[in-house]
Structure 1
Amino acid sequence: MRWIAYPVKCLICGILAMQIYFALQIALWSGLNPASTAFQRAERWRLCSWHWSCEVHSKWVPYNKISSNLKRAVLVSEDDIFFQHKGVRVEDMQKAWEKNQQKSQFKNAPKTALRGGSTITQQLAKNLFLSSEQNYLRKGQELIITGLLELILSKQRLFEIYLNSVEWGEGVFGIGAASQHYYGIPPAALDLDQAAALASALPAPKCFDKAQYCRKANIHFPTRQEFILENMGRVALAPIPLAPKNTK
């Protein structure tokens, strides 16, 4: 039995070492900006291979230089209670589980596919460290990284990293590159309509950028933009403080 115990111990140690690496990397980002994400590197390789010059754009913009219009629009589009939850939305994950269980009943549907239910923190965890492969092991690692992100970094810092790293088109990453690519202006100057349009792109950014990617995208951007505009006023850009307890 010793020959079984040794590789098991090695596997456990390897998994623990990986989590420590993730935690240390996240801790560095409390003061340093990520140079790139796993998703950005994968996309750069897909688009550029071994070429040094490549049409991949990214420009870091500090949180206070990003339009509040854009911040609110992204929250409506992706995670309207981001500043209130602890990283996951259990009810949404349960709905995603049920949807995937139904999908797995069809012959051509992969049984390990996961869809929906992801918060901004979960999306950030996936983009920063993980592959685009969808299975339950990767989802489990995503949840662990999500917990580390929420534990180590503030909500504002998480949102800042997300806005500066998320994909907004083919080879377009972060709001600095996106606002310049689509409108030729800095992120601070985005008005309501521009912010809502950019936020509507997030579920299918390549389709928003280039029609050739729209064959598999089932999304109507004008309708989504209208919904975002109607709901931007109800989202909070900071944690809502708890009401003081009545001591009487």
Structure 2
Amino acid sequence: MHDDDTQGDIIRLGSARKTGFLKRWLWRLVLVIVLFALLPYLLLPLYRPTFVHPISVPMFSRLVTVSGYDRQWVAFEDISPVLVQSVMMSEDGQFCNHHGVDWRELQAVAQDAFSGERARGASTIPMQTVKNLFLWNDRSYIRKVAELPLAIAADIVWPKKRIMEIYLNIAQWGPDTFGIEAAAQAEFGISASDLSRRQAALLAVSLPNPDQRRASNPSGLMLKLAARVERLGRASGSYITCLYD
């Protein structure tokens, strides 16, 4: 009986050690997940100063794979206002009026989805910015859930002008072209400060599909979309008061 008790104690001790080991690793895993989820919020204030030039997840992935990319950071003041107008009116017309998320547009998209209508985008510029900087690129609900509070936090921490500056410098305009300065040089051979209204509109409408749409070689659809963006841009004065005095 004594030998049986000793053997039982050894088995229980081994089981307890195994359980403790699993608990420790489970807590470590939870801690890593929590820190990973909090990291973007910790980086937001570090990205506020204008001398900081952050890179996006797609840019970082190209560095890891040694495929490289073309990006030339340009200050907001050195970007043609017609480009800013065109991008805002094409991507997020209520940019100056919402606080990171356009809840009215998001609700309209949800209603369309429930009624079986074709899905349309509701991403604001802050949402696209935090997605490019911190998240992955797919249409999963998990990413959207992570994106919403991050966009709100970014709108709190960063001034509107800084949000737009970061967005225009990390947005993808071609397979390996990031940022408006590199895009203007690649498509039209000029600086972002010298873009005309038509060139700006063509660049703006190429953003949703940068791998296939070329601003310097627009399709009929792109020309039609660009003409609309031009009209909206000319009338955008009251919409861009948060960026220009």
TM-score normalised to structure 2 length? 0.78
Q: Cα deviations across residues 56-95 of structure 1 (Å, max 9, x unaligned)?
A: 2100000000000100000111011201110111122123
Conserved 8 A contact 1:87-1:150? yes
Q: Which runs of 5+ in 1 are unaligned?
A: 106-113, 241-248
Match of 1:116, SS state, is: coil
Partner of 1:238: 241
Conserved 8 A contact 1:125-1:149? yes
Q: Cα deviations across residues 12-35 of structure 1 (Å, max 9, x unaligned)?
A: 655543343212211111114334
Match of 1:203 among 198, 208, 211: 208
Match of 2:88, SS state, is: helix
Q: Cα deviations across residues 110-135 of structure 1 (Å, max 9, x unaligned)?
A: xxxx8511000001111111111222
Match of 1:58, SS state, is: coil
Q: Cα deviations across residues 28-62 of structure 1 (Å, max 9, x unaligned)?
A: 111143341112233x27xx9445xx4x2100000
Partner of 2:95: 82
Distance 1:98 1:7, change over 3 A: farther
Q: Cα deviations across residues 153-210 of structure 1 (Å, max 9, x unaligned)?
A: 1110000000001011111100010000011111111111111111111111211139
Q: After the TM superposition, which residues 222-237 of structure 1 pair with which residues of structure 2 at under 5 Å, given as runs? A: 222-235=223-236, 236-237=239-240
Match of 1:178, SS state, is: helix
Partner of 2:179: 174
Normalized per residue, the structure richer in helix is 2
Partner of 1:120: 125
- CA distance in structure 2 between the aligned counterparts of 1:154 and 1:59, rounded to whole angstroms: 22
- CA distance in structure 2 between the aligned counterparts of 1:100 and 1:127, rounded to whole angstroms: 25
User: Quick one: percent identity of the two aligned structures?
Assistant: 28
Counterpart amino acid of 1:222? L
Distance 1:8 1:93, change over 3 A: farther
Is 2:170 the counterpart of 1:147? Answer: no
Counterpart amino acid of 2:82? N
Partner of 1:22: 40
- CA distance in structure 1 between the aligned counterparts of 2:84 and 2:117, rounded to whole angstroms: 36
Match of 2:212, SS state, is: helix
Deviation at 1:104, TM superposition (A): 10
Structure 1 stretch displaced more, 70-79 or 231-240: 231-240
Counterpart amino acid of 2:242? P
Partner of 2:8: none
Conserved 8 A contact 2:206-2:222? yes
Match of 2:166 among 156, 161, 167: 161
Match of 2:211, SS state, is: helix
Match of 2:83, SS state, is: helix
TM-score normalised to structure 1 length? 0.77
- CA distance in structure 2 between the aligned counterparts of 1:20 and 1:135, rounded to whole angstroms: 20
- CA distance in structure 2 between the aligned counterparts of 1:232 and 1:221, rounded to whole angstroms: 16
- CA distance in structure 2 between the aligned counterparts of 1:196 and 1:30, rounded to whole angstroms: 28
Give the number of aligned pairs.
218
- CA distance in structure 1 between the aligned counterparts of 2:70 and 2:191, rounded to whole angstroms: 14
Q: Which runs of 5+ in 2 are unaligned?
A: 1-18
Match of 1:195, SS state, is: helix
- CA distance in structure 2 between the aligned counterparts of 1:204 and 1:103, rounded to whole angstroms: 24
Distance 1:115 1:227, change over 3 A: closer
Partner of 2:104: 91
